[in-house]
Chains A and B, each alone.
Chain A
C-alpha cells in the first residue's frame, strides 16, 4: 500500500498544498527524502508565486496530481550536505528553480540544456527518479541534487531575487539564444507582469532600446519612470500600432492570454523575431504572409539550463536587477492567487516562508 505523504520519506516537512481544482491551498504535512550523497537540504526563506503555480493548482493545463505543493522560485540556506557535495556548504545562500532532476546523459543535458531533456523532473508536480512525487517551495525545506541548486549571489536580496529563478531565466535565456543582446537594437516586451517587467530590466541592462507593449494605458507611467522602458505602446490603439510598424528588431511576448500574433508581427522589421515565453492554453492565430514577406520568425523558449540560470543570477547581481515584489505571508496565499488571476500585482508576490509558515 502506498505510503502517505507524511510517511514517504524520513525528513518531516510542512507546507501548503492544493487538494483539488478549486486551487485553494491549506496546510499540508509531508516529508522529504534523506539528504543523499549528492544532495543538499535547504531551509526555505522565500518563494516567489509564479503564474504557473496558479495554472497548476487549478489544473488548467490538465496534468496536476493532487495534492500539489507549488513553488519554483525558491531561495534559502543550506542546512545539510551529502558527502559527495562539492559546490555548497552549510550556511550557503542558494536558489532552486523549475527543475530538480534530469537524465544527465542525453544531448540536451550534455549541452547544459537540462530544461530540454525529455526526462526533466520538475520541482513540483513531477515524479522523481525514486518514484516519489516532487513538492515545491511553498514549504519549509527542500532536498535537491546539488547539480540543480544555484549559488545565490550575496548582493542580491533573497526576497526580491527569488522570482529570477523562473521569471528571470525565462526571459534571459531567449535573449541570449535569439541574440537579443546587441546594444542599440529595439526590443518590444509584450505584457507587463512577472515576466515582462524583468524582461524590461534585463533588456535595458543589455543596452537595448525597450518598448513595453500593453493593453493598459495606466501601466505607462510606471513602465517608463520606474522600470526604465524607453517607450510604451498601447496595443489596443490602432493608430499607435500603425505608427510603430516595422520598428522593432525583436519582441518578447510574455502574454499568457490567447491573442493574435499578426499585430505583433507587423511591429517587427525584416528578419525580426517574435519570441513566445508565455503559455496560452489554446493555439494562437499566426498569419503566414507577413512571416514570408519579412523573413520573420516566431520562436519559443522554456526557462533555461542550470549553467545559464547561474549566469543569469550573476548577471542580475552585477547589474542590480531584482523583481518588483509584494511580500506576503503564507496564510495570505489564496488571496494572492485571486489577485494574481486579475493581474493585480506589481509584479510578483513572494511568500515570506521562513517568517510566516507555522505549523
Chain B
C-alpha cells in the first residue's frame, strides 16, 4: 500500500498544495527524501508564481496529479550536501527551475539539452526515479540532484531573481538559439507579462532594439520608461502595424491566449523569425503565403538546459537583470492566483516562503 505523503520519506516537509481542480491551495504536510550522495538540500526562501502553476493547479493541461505542490522558480540557501556533491556547499545561494531529473545518456542530455530529454522529470507533479511524486517550491525545503541546481551569484537578489529560473531561461534560450541577440538587431516582444518583461530586459542587455507589441495601450509608458523598450506597438491598431511592416529581425511571442499570427508575420523582415514561447492550448492559424514570400519562419522553444540556465543567471547577474515582482505571503497565494488569471500583476508574484511559510507543527 502506498505510503502517505507525510510518511513517504524520512524528512518532514511542509508546503501548500492544491487538492482538486478548483486549484485552491492550502497547508499540506509531506516529506522529502534524505539527502542522497549527489543531492543538495536547501531551505527555500522564495518561490516565483509561474502561469504554468495556475494551469497545473486547475489541471488545465490534463496531466495534474493531486495533491499538487507547484513552484518551479525556487531559491534558497543550502543546508546539506551529499558526499559526492562537487559544486555546492552549505550556505550557498542556489536555485532550482523546472526540472529535477533526466536520463543523462541520450543525445539531448549529452548536448546539455536536458529539457528536451524524453525522460526529463519536472520539478512538480511528475514521477521521480524512486517512483514518488515530485513536489515543487511552495514549500519549506527542497532536495535536488546537484546537476539541476544553479548557483545564484551574490549580487543577484534572491526574491527578484527567482522568476529567472523559468521565465528568464524561457526567453533567454530562444534569443540565443535563433540568433536574435546581435547588437543592432530589432526584436519585437509580444505580450508584457512575466515572460515578456524579462525578454525586454535581456534583449536590451544584448544590444538589441526592442519593440513591445501589446493589446493594451496603457502598458506603453511602463514599457518605454521603466523596462527600457525602444518602442511600443498596439497590435490592434492597423495603422501602427502597417507602419512597422517588415521592420523586425525576430519576434518573441509570449502570449498564451489564442491570437492571430498574420500581423506578426507581416512585422518581420525577409528571413525574419517568429518564436513562440507562450503555449496556447489550441492550434493557431498559420498563413502560408507570407511565410513563403519572405522566407520567414515560426519556431518554438521550451525553457533551456542546465548549462544554459546557469549561463543565463550569470548573464543576468552581470547586467543587473531581475524580474519586476510583487512579494506576497503564502496565505495570499489563492488571491494571487485569481489576480494572475486576470493578468493583474507587474509582472510576477514571488512568495516569501522563508518569512511566511510556517508549519503549525
In the complex, the answer to whether B283 meets A297 with C-beta atoms within 8 Å is no
Against B, the Cβ 8 Å flags (1 = close, 0 = not) of A290-303 are 11111111111110
Residues of B with C-beta under 8 A to A284: 285-286, 288
Residues of A with C-beta under 8 A to B295: 116, 177, 299-302
In the complex, the answer to whether B279 meets A288 with C-beta atoms within 8 Å is yes
> Is B252 located at the chain interface by the 8 A CB criterion?
no
> Is B284 located at the chain interface by the 8 A CB criterion?
yes
- A116-B294, A295-B301 as given contacts; A300 in contact with B288, CB under 8 Å: yes
> Is B299 located at the chain interface by the 8 A CB criterion?
yes
Residues of B with C-beta under 8 A to A107: 270
- A286-B283, A295-B116 as given contacts; A300 in contact with B278, CB under 8 Å: no
> Is A287 located at the chain interface by the 8 A CB criterion?
yes
- A270-B108, A295-B177, A299-B291 as given contacts; A288 in contact with B283, CB under 8 Å: yes
> Is B298 located at the chain interface by the 8 A CB criterion?
yes
- A270-B116, A279-B288 as given contacts; A295 in contact with B297, CB under 8 Å: no
Against B, the Cβ 8 Å flags (1 = close, 0 = not) of A123-137 are 000000000000000
Q: Pick the contact of B294 from A261, A270, A300 — CB < 8 Å? A: A300
> Is B162 located at the chain interface by the 8 A CB criterion?
no
Residues of A with C-beta under 8 A to B289: 279
Q: Name the residue of chain B whose CB is nearest to the CB of A298.
A: B298
CB distance from B120 to the nearest CB of A (A): 10
Q: Name the residue of chain A whose CB is nearest to the CB of B265.
A: A300
> Is B179 located at the chain interface by the 8 A CB criterion?
no
> Is B302 located at the chain interface by the 8 A CB criterion?
yes
Q: Pick the contact of A276 from B108, B273, B284, B291 — CB < 8 Å? A: B291
Residues of B with C-beta under 8 A to A277: 292
> Is B45 located at the chain interface by the 8 A CB criterion?
no
> Is B280 located at the chain interface by the 8 A CB criterion?
yes
Q: Name the residue of chain B whose CB is nearest to the CB of A287.
A: B283
The B interface, classified by DSSP as helix, strand, loop or mixed, is mixed
Q: Pick the contact of A108 from B108, B270, B280, B291 — CB < 8 Å? A: B270
> Is B243 located at the chain interface by the 8 A CB criterion?
no
Residues of B with C-beta under 8 A to A278: 288
| Bound Cα distance A301, B292 (Å) | 4
Residues of A with C-beta under 8 A to B302: 292-293, 295
> Is A262 located at the chain interface by the 8 A CB criterion?
yes
Within 8 A of A (CB), among B263-284: 270-271, 273, 276-280, 282-284
Interface residues on A, range: 20 to 34
Residues of B with C-beta under 8 A to A261: 286
Q: Name the residue of chain A whose CB is nearest to the CB of B287.
A: A283
> Is B43 located at the chain interface by the 8 A CB criterion?
no
Q: Name the residue of chain B whose CB is nearest to the CB of A178.
A: B297
| Bound Cα distance A57, B74 (Å) | 62
Within 8 A of A (CB), among B302-354: 302
Residues of A with C-beta under 8 A to B262: 283
- A286-B284, A292-B279 as given contacts; A297 in contact with B292, CB under 8 Å: no
CB distance from A288 to the nearest CB of B (A): 5
Within 8 A of B (CB), among A199-222: none
| Bound Cα distance A290, B280 (Å) | 11
> Is A260 located at the chain interface by the 8 A CB criterion?
yes
Q: Name the residue of chain B whose CB is nearest to the CB of A117.
A: B270
> Is B113 located at the chain interface by the 8 A CB criterion?
yes
In the complex, the answer to whether B300 meets A292 with C-beta atoms within 8 Å is yes
Name the residue in A297, A300, A302 with the highest tally of chain B Cβ atoms < 10 Å from its Cβ. Answer: A300
> Is A38 located at the chain interface by the 8 A CB criterion?
no
In the complex, the answer to whether B293 meets A297 with C-beta atoms within 8 Å is no
Residues of A with C-beta under 8 A to B290: 300
| Bound Cα distance A292, B297 (Å) | 14
Within 8 A of B (CB), among A235-265: 260-262
In the complex, the answer to whether B298 meets A279 with C-beta atoms within 8 Å is no
Q: Name the residue of chain B whose CB is nearest to the CB of A301.
A: B295
Q: Name the residue of chain A whose CB is nearest to the CB of B280.
A: A288
In the complex, the answer to whether B291 meets A260 with C-beta atoms within 8 Å is no
Residues of A with C-beta under 8 A to B300: 288, 290-297
> Is A184 located at the chain interface by the 8 A CB criterion?
no
> Is B296 located at the chain interface by the 8 A CB criterion?
yes
Q: Name the residue of chain B whose CB is nearest to the CB of A113.
A: B270
Within 8 A of A (CB), among B235-270: 261-262, 270
Q: Pick the contact of A292 from B113, B276, B288, B296 — CB < 8 Å? A: B276
| Bound Cα distance A286, B260 (Å) | 11
Q: Pick the contact of B292 from A113, A279, A286, A295 — CB < 8 Å? A: A279
In the complex, the answer to whether B288 meets A297 with C-beta atoms within 8 Å is no
Complex A-B: 5 CB contacts under 8 Å: A116-B270, A260-B283, A283-B285, A295-B301, A297-B273
The 5 tightest CB contacts between A and B, nearest first, are A291-B300, A300-B291, A297-B299, A299-B297, A300-B292
Chain A residues close to B by CB (< 8 Å): 107-108, 113, 116, 177, 260-262, 270, 276-280, 283-302
Chain B residues close to A by CB (< 8 Å): 108, 113, 116, 177, 261-262, 270-271, 273, 276-280, 282-302
